[in-house]
Amino acid sequence: MSKPLLSVRGLSMTFPIRAGVFQRTRGHVYAVSDVSFDLRRGGTLGIVGESGSGKSTLGKCVIRLVEPTAGTVVFDGRDVTHLREPELRRSIRSRIQMVFQDPFSSLNPRQSLQSIVEEPLHVHHRLERTERAAYAADLIERVGLDPARRDRKPHEFSGGQRQRIAIARALALRPELIIADEPVSALDVSVQAQIMNLLDDLQREFGLTYVFISHDLSVVRHASEDVAVMYLGRLMELASRDSLFADYRHPYTQALMSAVPSVRRVGARRRSRVVLSGEMPDSSDPPGGCVFHTRCPYARDRCRTEVPAVHDIAENHRIACHFPIE
């Protein structure tokens, strides 16, 4: 394999919980613990997991909105884990962009479509006004919006159109890596399909690399080349899409799969339905041993004491479990 565009090793992010007048630290949230993966240029890594499993925090560490507490993030051969401004802006901000779930709260309600899309250009490039306008109009058209509406404000657009605006803005600096954090979760299936097709087209056209975060397995399956399953901040299973969906080995992946309602649950493998009991434990007090042991139907004594290491179980298929499903 050629050199990956993004290489993450042993990444952890721990937030202090502060309370009281003196804001003393009362504990820690283990949002991401010891996550490693590689992502090739032009590829898409999907990340799935329940709410609170650390997906967004992982994304924010990569784009360096937060500084990880341990591990390394290597982007295009360069260790960016602890970069500071102005170096951070110069080497990361224009090359990695993030698209969020709720396009409304991430768009300034007083700005027009055009100025939202143009804004990043002010910061990073010294283009003439007319050049900027032409460039923005191009982008607006490319994401399927009508450039004639460039003076409109975000509230005059539908949810799907707002997500297109957010994508146009993310594309403005011609980034190489886009972290799409639940980009279609708030949308109707019809609009979701439009946005997913758009992301697909843009990837091909601009050679983009994606980290695609979603809690929806069907959506991730559709979008990704490789898929990582997270639980309580940890990587449970990581494999190529086809191995993960056809031949998952981790009990948590099995539980997630069987919880997915599906309109076309046909095909060879009739899934035994495992409805997980209980809820995800608090990430400020994760269970010892395997973090999944409190809900795992296959847990044994060893699971309660020993953290399973992530190990290769087949080519391009890694898993953190003492007793993988056969």
Question: Alpha-carbon distance 135 to 174, whole Å?
Answer: 11
Contact pick of 41, 89, 215, 317 for ligand ATP (by CB under 6 A): 215
> Among residue numbers 164 through 203, which ones bind other proteins (CB under 8 A)?
188-194, 196-197, 200
Contacts of 252 (CB under 8 A, 6+ apart): 229, 231, 236, 237, 292, 296
Helices 129-142 and 159-171, interaxial angle, to 10°?
130
Tell me which of ligand SF4, Mg ion, other proteins, none is bound by residue 56, counting a contact when its beta carbon lies within the kind-specific cut-off of 5 to 8 angstroms: Mg ion
**Residue 303 in the binding site for ligand SF4 (CB under 6 A):** yes
Shortest approach of other proteins to residue 222 CB, angstroms?
Answer: 4
Question: Alpha-carbon distance 263 to 256, whole Å?
Answer: 16
Q: 322: buried, middle or exposed (CB in 10 Å: 19+, 13-18, 0-12)?
A: middle
Q: Point out which residues pair with 19 in neighbouring strands.
A: 24
3-state SS assignment for residue 284: coil
Tell me which of ligand SF4, other proteins, Mg ion, none is bound by residue 148, counting a contact when its beta carbon lies within the kind-specific cut-off of 5 to 8 angstroms: none
Residue type, 216: D
Shortest approach of Mg ion to residue 134 CB, angstroms?
Answer: 36
**Residue 224 in the binding site for ligand ATP (CB under 6 A):** no
Nearer to Mg ion, 183 or 286 (CB): 183
Tell me which of Mg ion, ligand SF4, other proteins, none is bound by residue 143, counting a contact when its beta carbon lies within the kind-specific cut-off of 5 to 8 angstroms: none
**Residue 233 in the binding site for ligand SF4 (CB under 6 A):** no
CA dihedral 134, 138, 139, 145 (to 10 degrees): 120
- Residue 272's CB is within 10 A of a number of other CB atoms, namely 7
Strand arrangement of the beta sheet that strand 24-39 belongs to = 24-39, 6-19, 70-75, 78-79
Cα 201 versus chain centre, distance: 19
Tell me which of ligand ATP, ligand SF4, Mg ion, none is bound by residue 100, counting a contact when its beta carbon lies within the kind-specific cut-off of 5 to 8 angstroms: none
Helix (H) or strand (E) holding 255: helix 251-259
Binding range to ligand ATP, per CB under 6 A, among 53-61, 117-125, 217-225, 296-304 = 53-61
**Residue 159 in the binding site for other proteins (CB under 8 A):** yes
Binding range to other proteins, per CB under 8 A, among 28-36, 144-152, 158-166, 170-178 = 158-166
Nearer to other proteins, 97 or 161 (CB): 161
232 half-sphere exposure, CB direction, 13 A CA radius: 20
Tell me which of ligand ATP, other proteins, Mg ion, none is bound by residue 262, counting a contact when its beta carbon lies within the kind-specific cut-off of 5 to 8 angstroms: other proteins
For residues 282 to 321, the per-residue mask of contacts with ligand ATP, x marking binding by CB under 6 A and - elsewhere, is -x--------------------------------------
Largest CA distance in the chain: 68
**Residue 308 in the binding site for ligand SF4 (CB under 6 A):** yes
Residue type, 34: D
**Residue 222 in the binding site for other proteins (CB under 8 A):** yes
**Residue 1 in the binding site for other proteins (CB under 8 A):** no
Q: Respond yes or no on whether the N-terminal peptide bond of residue 109 is cis (omega within 30° of 0).
A: no
Shortest approach of ligand SF4 to residue 299 CB, angstroms?
Answer: 4
**Residue 299 in the binding site for ligand SF4 (CB under 6 A):** yes
**Residue 292 in the binding site for ligand SF4 (CB under 6 A):** yes
Q: In the complex, which residues of this chain contact ligand ATP (CB under 6 A)?
A: 15, 29, 31, 49, 51-57, 215, 283
Q: Which residues bind ligand SF4 (CB under 6 A)?
A: 251-252, 290, 292-293, 296, 298-299, 303, 308, 321-323
